Structure 1
């Protein structure tokens, strides 16, 4: 194939290309769809290239080539599709729609193949936040594409009154049931925590333990931006306060995945009642689902309102302020004392904070003032 923009193909001297190949362009928000119909061979392939190369020069976010109405493609046509894949920018997502033998042949071009246009039009995950790529950036394997489609469908059709985070938790657990329970939690570098959703009250209780002790796999996954794979929590040696408390309520294994940079929102964490590591394909799905969850949350217009409604730690800040004044210590030290008191009294930190704020006698007893 020549290096310039015009493929050097020899026409076989048959009917004009315009009569043998129909090409039209459909713009759908960030996606450009090229519809082809008829025959793609040596005489018609340059027409398809003329259209697709012109679009590629505009740097589209997503380019879909729809071949569902194409009756035949020879080696020249496949060479054009391979050239499209070669010339596309790394941040352009390419998709090919084809069925039957044409779909099988299309796989050789390096462009992901979809059996229906509707599936190809499902919004693509932004390449910058997707880790599982093959070849050029943005080319994802079939499993990751399937996870994205299923999560997207679930969030778009979620029941009225259900938050995006709640839908994500329910969908994620359906996709990786081997991990038993899941929580979706936001964190900040200052130590604030917001449990957006939890699949079970038990997993929500475990998150409360992380906040009370100020340590745990979800917090570490967030601060270090590194997954925490802990198949045997009791044997890990990390997070002694959290591990002791979590073991008492039956937490045996933890798998936490950061909601990744550049979004860096928090963590998707799975808790199990029994020890052991699930198969690697399950963990690979969980990694991809953490990335997908980050994208969905970043696009959720109601997220900030939900955080304001569900943070629930204002009373901790209030209690820390009271203690800071009473003891003449900085507020961060006051927060540490409140957490320590909650742990010592076997109480959720928010429950202790509410008691500190509401009752001076309780304040002196619980905080040992």
Structure 2
């Protein structure tokens, strides 16, 4: 049963595999071309909590600038954090550098080829370890992302709401993972979820697994996977300060630990329910509006304060600015004061 279902999906994948800059397609793989573990690892870190469409250009820029793990390991932290700006979840970028340096300096530039050894590296959790082991090294590891959860819950009619359904989904994924071509199979299931077994209006008539799909047979495919009700996200507020001196802007580097850690930013107050203003310099600060941004666990509303002729700053320094190196919430504030546009999502 395992090999039969897997082979049906692999046959579909051979004809329908998506083209991605980090992927070795099934035809090239059949001719003996092997994936570069560095590129697979980099793409998987970038893809966490992010879409393929958002990652493509970042991946190309990163690999053009740092084509090998040794190149990334030797890069300045600020360069990498600036190149990452806009992808979000900035702890990933810090762990990216830590992992690259361990691989380059302690492992002679070679990534481990097993889940157990990959899990020992900074920033690599169970999903990423399985993905790199399967895709880069053809290990029969069960790779379970959101697409795979959706496919498995429908195929096996797993009606328990997430996250309680995760053990049953993982068991289903492990049971179906084949010994032959596990890397192609892992990518095939993800492609199936992304293009056919979609969250809404799944194209069941085009699906290679339509016959064995229990949810399609029961007429409930679109309702799965079920999810427990989400709790409302809290709202935090704060003040953000934009000051310009000629072509330079007042900037500071956020602490390494914490949200947006290590990133270049405009000075802010603390963020909370009732924030206290914390201007970084004496100035005639004026209200320029607000920007809003949503993080994983909360909504943020920042009151943007602007000054044209501030005194000596108590923190940060004036420096040239490329807005693209800023995290998204700070880019919104820059856009608000320079273009007069709204800073809402």
TM over 0.5: no
Rg (Cα) greater in structure? 1
TM-score (normalizing by structure 2): 0.25
> Taking CA–CA contacts closer than 8 Å with sequence separation of 6 or more, which of the two structures ends up with the larger relative contact order?
2
